[in-house]
Amino acid sequence: VLENGLTILAKDSLPRDLAAIDIKIKAGSGLEGEYAGSGISHFVEHMVFKGTKTRAAGAIEKEIKSYGGFINAAASHDLTSFTVTVPSEHLKEAISLLKDMLLNATFEKKEFEKEREVILKEMKLNRDEPNARLSKLLYDTAYIGHPYRYPVIGYEQAFRALKREDLIKYYNKMYVPNRIVIAVVGGIDKVDAIAAIEKEFESFKPPNYMIDLQAVEPMQISARRSEEGMAISLSYLAMGFHSTRLLDKDLFAMDVLSMILGRGDNSRLNTVLFKEKEMVHSISSWNYTPKDPGLFVITASLDKENLGSVEKAVLDEVDKLKNEGAKDDEIEAAKRMVLSDYIFSRQTLEEEASDISANEVLTGDYAFSRRYVDGVQSVSKEDLKRVANKILRNDNLTVVRLVPASFIAYEPKAAVASTIEPTIKKEILPNGLRILVREDRKTPTISISVAMLGGLSVEDKHTNGISNLTARMLLKGTGIRKESDIEGALENRGGAIAPFSGFNSFGVNLTLLKPDLDFALDILKDILRDSTFPQDELGKP
């Protein structure tokens, strides 16, 4: 670790004539702060290829190719990655080029506009691809408070709002040495490689050290469901349970459990639902464990008529595993798969470099993968039964379905009782806002409740009462309305508005006659977007 906080890992490995450099930066969609939901990490990852102070757009890839190498990049929930593989003789040139990308990207306006259009097309492709759409729907529904709910690419509305200056600000904040790990693997002299990196990055001065605030997802207390229609012939089902984080002692058992349930031809779900009952076209499961708690996911493609029966059959197999446990041969097969994955996932220099850099960034232990394999080998039958009953609970379950647009799903026989009544329609706007609408024709009135995460559960001794105060202050005036204007306008229409604050949420409730819906929405938009929180109202009871 250099004085400026940059971490360097170096390993001599075969083949001798190649070297791979993998860079991991603590900059992902789960860490975007004020830009949450915009996909700014992904946008910046694209833009650092589009020119530096000494290299024009397109020159970076061209230079790497001239060395006989290649370069890749990606963004995720927790990280942004850059990987370069070159002949060993060009290692120093590749290090210099990467330094230029990390320190000197220029974000030229013309390239900014061009790349924005590229990403907008990528968003459209994702909307048209069933598995990408299903994944987005699952994370949107399963997470309500943690930024893992946001797609890495961002929501289109928030993405379009990004300015060139926002990218520069984020780049300068996140692309700093104490947030970066550089791993070099291949035909190298380790001492020389570290010295070359140190020389290039010695002028890379760190800013004030920044601590990432850890977002906490509220505990799920009942099953969640969501569904979207799409121009498809098959249906797609995803069932997700809130699971472990990467550094959790139950990680090993949950990963083995996912393999027993849905990894490979002989897994339980594939054997029963695909081979024996022929209820699905495909089915699988995995345990997604990023830095913060992830999801244990089961997905299937199937005919729309089988949605309810497949959901029930999946939960029957889950219950069987919870009640009866796993068989010895299943456990041993799963452990062999983990060992095989470990070996085959490190076949290339790029994979090996990526593995040790990710381990270092996410766990602080570059050899974590080896420790992970050992942890899996120690999993017992009792461990599996315990974690299955701990994690795979119906009140911890989210079910999402992607169906042909003309198909109305959610049959009455659905396996898990929905927490959303059949008369309630749920819509998620492109900016992430969730809307629930329930029609009631008994009276010509409308009631609107705007609820936000907060309340006593997120307060401490320093912020006690802040949710209640914020809710009340929302009604004290906006840029165009005084408190009396808000109250008077509602009273004149026979309506009312009141703040609320509870244990897990705060917000406002509004009631009006049905013809005044547009007026009600205008009032709420003004309150939520332009409240002024007047100083003279703060001290009033």
Indicate whether 493 pLDDT > 50.
yes
Mean pLDDT of 85-106: 96
Report domain 224-417's class: alpha beta
Average pLDDT, the chain: 91
Indicate whether 420 pLDDT > 60.
no
The neighbour count for residue 57, using CB atoms within 10 Å, is: 17
pLDDT 10s digits, 60-74: 999 999 999 999 999
Buried b vs exposed e over 338-355: b needs ≥16 C-beta within 10 Å? beebeeeebeebbebbbb
Indicate whether 411 pLDDT > 60.
no
Inter-axis angle of helices 381-391 and 251-262, nearest 10: 90
pLDDT 10s digits, 208-235: 677 777 788 999 999 999 999 999 999 9
Pairing of strands 224-230, 397-404: parallel
Q: The domain 440-538 belongs to what CATH superfamily?
A: Metalloenzyme, LuxS/M16 peptidase-like (3.30.830.10)
Percentage of the residues of the chain whose pLDDT score is greater than 90: 72
| Interior angle at CA 68, CA 64 and CA 73, nearest 5 | 45
Ranges of each domain in the chain: 7-201, 224-417, 440-538
Q: Pull the structure tokens for residue 240.
A: 């997700």
Q: Pull the structure tokens for residue 390.
A: 């701990």
What residues contact residue 467 under an 8 Å CB cut-off, 6+ apart?
454, 455, 456, 458, 459, 501, 506
- What is the fold of 7-201? Cytochrome Bc1 Complex; Chain A, domain 1 (3.30.830)
What's the pLDDT at 442?
67
What residues contact residue 428 under an 8 Å CB cut-off, 6+ apart?
140, 226, 434, 435
pLDDT-based confidence at residue 419 (cuts at 50, 70, 90): very low
Q: Do domains 224-417 and 440-538 have the same CATH topology?
A: yes
491 or 166: whose pLDDT is higher?
166
What's the CA gap between 505 and 519, in Å, rounded? 25
What's the pLDDT at 213?
74
Predicted TM-score (pTM) of this structure: 0.78
Q: Pull the structure tokens for residue 12.
A: 């001599």
What's the CA gap between 122 and 48, in Å, rounded? 18
What's the CA gap between 21 and 352, in Å, rounded? 10
What's the pLDDT at 208?
66
What's the pLDDT at 246?
96
Indicate whether 427 pLDDT > 90.
no
Mean pLDDT of 119-124: 95
Mean pLDDT of 283-302: 97
